[in-house]
Amino acid sequence: PALNAGFFPFPFFDDASKNKLYADTDSTLAVSANAPKANIDAAKKFLEFLTSPEGAAMIVSKARLLPTVKGADVSSMDAPFQDLVKYVGDGVVMPWAFSMWPTVVFETSKSALQEYYSGQRTKDQMITYLDDLWKNK
């Protein structure tokens, strides 16, 4: 069906100029320093390809994702993505808070919240538990 959709910042503030759109990198790629040298070299070549204009075009056309390569051609993406590109380009985005949490805190928070929702932990117990995890990460 035809759908007129788009992105806009969640209105946290009465002053619209202060509102930002949540947008963050969904995933990242890295090369393990512990991998065999041949694998490291191959992985670096693959990353070089992904960050090339050709690789960015593939990410857009095949995966339908916004590439993180500056200057990538995203003109073929649907209208909602054009909104997102504009917000990112204008610098009026902010990352999801959980993406900056230490992995152990993020992963453990899932089960801690389930325990809270099911009545196995109180709110205070859950907060203390997560605070302790953060401090000891």
Boundaries of every domain in the chain: 16-95, 101-135
pLDDT value, residue 1: 66
Closest by CA to 130, choosing from 95, 116, 26, is 116
| Whether 72 contacts 53, CB under 8 Å | yes
Percent above pLDDT 90 for the chain: 47
Residue 123 or residue 98, greater confidence: 123
Looking at the predicted structure, is the pLDDT value of residue 121 above 90? yes
More confident residue, 12 or 42: 42
> CA distances (Å), 69 to each of 44, 62, 73, 79, 118, in order?
16, 16, 9, 19, 43
The mean pLDDT of the chain is 89
State the alpha helices, DSSP H only, in 6-137.
37-50, 53-58, 79-90, 103-117, 123-135
Mean pLDDT of the 81-105 span: 86
What's the pLDDT band for 44 if we cut at 50, 70, 90? very high
Evaluate if residue 27 carries a pLDDT over 80: no
